[in-house]
Chains A and B, each alone.
Chain A
Amino acid sequence: MGNRQDTVPARPELGSSSVGVGLRPDHYQDALEHPPSVDFLEVHSENFFAEAGIAVDLLKEVSASTPISLHGTSAGLGSVEAIPDDYLQQLKRLVDRVNPILVSDHLCFTWARIGGRLFHGGDLLPIPYTEDSLRHAVNNIDRMQQALGRQIAVENVCAYIEFDHNDFDEAAFLSEIVARTGCGLILDINNVMVNARNTQVAEPADFVDRYVASLDHAAIAEIHLAGSTPVDREELLIDDHACPVSEAGWYAYGRVVREIGPRPTLIEWDNNLPSWRELLGEATKARKAQRRVWNRERSHEFV
């Protein structure tokens, strides 16, 4: 039985044109010394699971002035195995500490048993989009929403492998999850583009448009933007979050915002980190991109 929206407390609201950046350990000092000119900061939940210590204290301090979006990378919502209780307890403790604007994780698996023992895969491992996967994802999302007593959002991932059999395409699978659990969605535009490129889709921009068109727009709680290090044509493109958002990424973002309206938007940058200032500059670009779309829409209204 799904955990429908009416049984889950609504998430705290953030302005639809809010822009945030990912806060990573290299920038902790900067974030304290120069409070960021962004609407929210995103952190990876597991980095703050410790009982106490510098990271926990820092997050408490930063969260007093800047809203926090908690983004998990380990829950493995698509695992056949149920998310372990101790993981959920640690996440709940963190949620209670920082009262985040959003709690999210990815549509992937991480937990599995080998010889009867439970292990964690340590990465965002892809799942086939089948009825069986759907059942397990719904169970785990329900379980997490119940444990936290609030709605979570689920993000689409990059998948570097292809499955022989799927019952759904990814967007339809996500829509089904939303319908059955009342969860929100994080639309990672770069992940959609990387998957399109790696599967040699002829027109990636059209692919993104079609993908977004078939999602439940009302469920999209946040948009993620990131850059991937370019590789040769025959190589696999890896979603490494190691460079600025590409021109194609900004173009796709503009089209998405025009299609679904503005949404809280996050700039993700996890490797080969730029200066804090440069990172905040990427957030400013997102703001400008939203404004460009907004101005264009208004001028069309006048016409």
Chain B
Amino acid sequence: MNLSDYQSHFLAFLFGGSNEPALPNSEVYRFGVEAKAVRALEHSYPTVKALVGPAAFEELALDYFRMIRKQSGDWSDFGWGFPSWIISHRISDRVPYLSDVARLDNHIGRVERSAYEEVNVDSFAEMGEDLASCSLILNKGLHFFRSMYPVISIWEAHKSESPKDTLSFAQAKRMIAKGRGQNVLIYRAGWKGMAEIIPENAVLLLEAIRNQLSIAEVFGEDVLKETNFTNWLQDMIAKGVIVGAKTIH
């Protein structure tokens, strides 16, 4: 076996694709790497672990590691595809909201590691009277999404040592029974990733801003006419969600 084949074969063995160890004691490395993979996913997906329990999480993490394998040198990068991979895993039959919960965990981790933009206060002063020629700038680091499940309530509940005793747990249970979901906004306060429920019109606003529509166009939409522009904008600036304004025409 040449060097290239040895290295490929060794990695295939580590990822469980080959049960033939390259050399005696190779399994020491497989055990070590599997432990690191589980630890990395535990760190990135704490709510998923809390939901399914340590044993099921380890099984899930190892399934992921063996199927997707590791593609970058940074363990904290490992598992970025975990939320979408979960959808096709049998565990989703039992816990259908697990993928969305993983998505929330993933976005929180990413927002904490991203270059979160500062608010450019001066840019708002340049906004003229003509709102048709201005648009708002979204922070590139933030995330928002719609979920068919009450993911924020589930996430809040599982921060507790005893989730079942929390109000969030009771709320999540009620909402799942009624088939109701939550829209999620993930942003950063200092270094900490935050998540909160936002109403449907806020999602529509954020989508319109991301599509670079003018302020007049955004707030001219029928569904958004009732939104109080000033209050909403102040709240979004305070959270660093909107970081500036710019002239577009």
Contact = CB atoms under 8 A, between A and B. Distances in A.
B14 A122 contact: yes
Interface stretch (A9-17, A160-168, A176-184, A242-250): A160-168
Given A80-B4, A119-B11, A136-B3, A87 B73 contact: yes
Interface in A24-55: 46-47, 49-54
A160 B25 contact: yes
A61 interface: no
Contact of A130 (B3, B10, B22): B3
A206 interface: no
Contact of B33 (A76, A123, A128, A132): A123
Nearest to A109: B7
Interface string A255-285: 0000000000000000000000000000000
B8 interface: yes
Contacts of A49: 73-74, 76-77
B29 A163 contact: no
A303 interface: no
B174 interface: no
Contacts of B11: 112, 114, 119, 121
A296 interface: no
Nearest to A79: B7
B24 interface: yes
B246 interface: no
A122 B28 CA distance: 13
B7 A80 contact: yes
Contacts of A104: none
Contacts of A80: 3-4, 7
A112 B7 contact: yes
B116 interface: yes
B69 interface: yes
A236 interface: yes
A69 interface: no
A77 B7 CA distance: 13
B191 A57 contact: yes
B115 A114 contact: no
Nearest to A91: B73
A59 to B, nearest CB: 13
A120 B114 contact: no
B7 A52 contact: no
A47 B23 contact: no
Contacts of A53: 112-114, 191
B73 A110 contact: yes
Interface residues of B, number: 39
B228 interface: no
Interface string B1-44: 01110111011101101000011111011001100110000000
Contacts of A195: none
Interface in B23-69: 23-26, 28-29, 32-33, 36-37, 69
Contacts of B69: 114, 119
A51 B71 contact: no
A236 B74 contact: no
Contact of A132 (B3, B74, B75): B3
Contacts of A76: 73
A74 interface: yes
A118 B22 CA distance: 19
Residue with the highest number of chain B CB atoms closer than 10 Å, among A80, A117, A122:
A122
A170 B28 CA distance: 21
B28 A160 contact: yes
A52 to B, nearest CB: 4
B146 interface: no
B231 interface: no
B163 to A, nearest CB: 26
A233 interface: no
A52 B36 contact: no
Contact of A120 (B22, B72, B191): B72
A119 B7 CA distance: 11
A123 B115 contact: no
A121 B70 contact: yes
Report the 8 A-B pairs with minimum CB-CB distance, sorted nearest first. Answer: A74-B73, A50-B113, A112-B7, A54-B191, A161-B23, A52-B115, A53-B113, A80-B4
22 contacts: A46-B76, A49-B73, A49-B77, A50-B114, A52-B115, A53-B112, A53-B113, A54-B112, A74-B74, A79-B7, A80-B3, A80-B4, A84-B73, A109-B10, A119-B70, A121-B11, A121-B29, A121-B33, A122-B75, A132-B2, A133-B3, A161-B26
Given A90-B74, A112-B8, 6 more contacts: A52-B115, A117-B71, A123-B33, A132-B2, A136-B3, A163-B23
Interface of A: 46-47, 49-54, 57, 74-76, 79-81, 84, 86-87, 90, 109-114, 117-123, 125, 127-128, 130, 132-133, 136, 160-163, 236, 238
